[in-house]
A and B are shown apart, each in its own frame.
Chain A
Amino acid sequence: MTYDKPVPAIDAESEPYWTGAREGRLMIQRCGRTGRCFLYSRRLAPGAEDADIRWIEAKGTGTVYSFTVCHTPAGPAFRDETPYVVACVELDEGARIVSNLVTGDIDAVRIGQRVEAFFDRVSEDLTIPKFRPAG
């Protein structure tokens, strides 16, 4: 079956993240000068200087910073999974990622909940890092 959900428009600056995901590694960026970790946006890593940025592999563990249970899908491709959870996860390294929190117990999802990444190979070309309750 073809994958009919929206796929990321991968660019040169995000390519290591998506390539890493295909290899089962959760990649984030780290500023060598400040030590702060982030993903794509410098917004949460004040002082991060482009010259010092390195890609590192994150442990994949973090906490739920916020979330929403989507009862109305973002288009027909998500209809069959409704309701589903989209969470903003703060990784233990500090970077934030928005992705799905896949759980059988939607009512138990809480801010501060511990989660861990897993790799959902949704198509030949695309693996999306998602999260599940830490086990």
Chain B
Amino acid sequence: MSRSPVIVGVADAPTHERGRALPGATVLSIQRDAAHEALAQAGLRMRDVDGLAVAGMWGMPGPGAMQPVLLTEYLGLEWPRYLDGTNIGGAAFVLHAGRAAEAIRSGQAETVLIVYGSLQKSQTARALGGRPAMFSNQWDIPAGLPLPVGAYAMAAQRHAHVYGSTRETLAEIAVATRAWAALNPAAAFREPMTVDDVLDARMIASPLGRYDCCLVTDGGGAVVMTTEERARDLRTPPVHVLGHGASASHTSIAHMPDMAKLEAAEHSSRRAYAMAGRRPAEIDLAMLYDSFTITVLMTLEALGLCGYGEGKEFVRGGRTGPGGAFPVNTNGGGLSYCHPGMYGLFTIIEACRQLWGLAGERQAEGVRTAICHGTGGVLSSGATLILSTENG
């Protein structure tokens, strides 16, 4: 089908010094540079863009926080006809891609740019406290729950209680992810790591230690989507968006229906699989938002890549690392590659590179269909994308 939505370009911003933006970067320029690079990969120009999707933790405070408008101005887009600023946390960009797919399919947009940028490391903008104790957070924040890590820690504790996962299970995920990062020149942390290194690291919120937690880095990225027909004239072979879905449940971890199950991912992926006409067994690569090691474990189970409670066997012995049976987070993830606050877009960027065979030393074999899953908040929201080199 000619208006089938496809991805034709991706880019991530270069960083140095453990994930710091290059000198002179602003939160806007880092997005512009990534956008230009992603467009150039496809052979497109900024003037071809008629749709924009963006979310972030930047922007003018209060009623001025209109990121799609500010970026329209900054990038010089000419009367974009499709705009999306939906913010469901770090999952947002995966949701943006799903919606952009429908906008492209229906003719509301021809070429959509999805961008993200953050200078949270340079600006030391990240802290475990300081969020307002409002709405359903009136209880956890006055109690001193460090956020988001403390909420994920409670889920990890519950998962261990219900399904028997252990700190070693989580450490296996950190180690496999680091092993991928070692093969990615763009990763902030590439030194080899062992299960013991993870277990011996400083405890943050039990059972999560330092290396169970994602990095705090700067960064930016861009993804360009258009129609299959338009892609025929472009430089990159199209990556087909076969299916997508999104869902959400809670803001405070107190209200996560079942703290041992990432049901938002179950709901969002169920729709994505149905739309794509694919089963979990047909997935060759999983790019999962790894805010914490526990997020990966719970996402693998919720996406049906294994059953609930089977995650601990699924990740055992480096199965998800280089040379393992099932590649997960081949860029080194938020745990070792980069985590500029909202990471979801990077799951799509890496999935495309793997599908194109452009992942260099870390290229996994035989990747034809990939699943991307973003998780936002404190296991609060989820968005899924199923991508393939083949249409249908």
Contacts and interface: CB of A to CB of B under 8 A. Distances in A.
A, B from the same assembly:
yes
Interface stretch (A7-15, A29-37, A47-55): A7-15
A5 interface: yes
B146 A72 contact: yes
Contacts of A41: 136, 250, 252, 254-255
Interface string B110-135: 00000000000000000111101111
Most chain B beta carbons < 10 A, residue from A10, A65, A72? A72
Interface residues of B, number: 42
B205 A71 contact: yes
Contacts of B252: 41, 98
Contact of B144 (A39, A81, A111): A81
B145 interface: yes
A81 B142 CA distance: 14
Nearest to A13: B135
B154 A88 contact: yes
A128 B142 CA distance: 8
B144 A84 contact: yes
B255 A6 contact: no
Interface in B143-164: 143-147, 149-150, 153-155, 157-158, 161
Contact of B134 (A9, A81, A99): A9
Contact of A70 (B132, B150, B157): B150
Contacts of B134: 9, 11
B203 interface: yes
B144 A7 contact: no
A6 B141 contact: yes
A44 interface: yes
A44 B257 CA distance: 6
A8 B143 contact: no
B153 A68 contact: yes
A134 interface: no
A9 B157 contact: no
Interface residues of A, number: 40
Most chain B beta carbons < 10 A, residue from A39, A40, A75, A88? A88
Given A41-B252, A88-B154, A97 B139 contact: yes
A43 B127 CA distance: 28
Most chain A beta carbons < 10 A, residue from B129, B144, B149? B144
24 contacts: A8-B133, A9-B134, A9-B138, A40-B135, A40-B136, A40-B138, A41-B250, A41-B255, A43-B250, A43-B257, A65-B158, A68-B150, A69-B206, A72-B204, A73-B129, A74-B145, A84-B144, A86-B143, A86-B144, A86-B154, A88-B253, A88-B254, A99-B139, A99-B143
Interface of A: 5-11, 14, 39-41, 43-44, 65-78, 81, 84, 86, 88, 96-100, 111-112, 128, 130
Interface of B: 127-130, 132-136, 138-147, 149-150, 153-155, 157-158, 161, 202-208, 249-250, 252-255, 257, 259
Given A43-B257, A88-B154, 19 more contacts: A9-B132, A9-B135, A11-B135, A39-B254, A40-B138, A44-B257, A68-B206, A71-B202, A71-B205, A71-B206, A72-B128, A72-B205, A75-B127, A76-B129, A84-B144, A86-B154, A88-B259, A96-B255, A130-B143
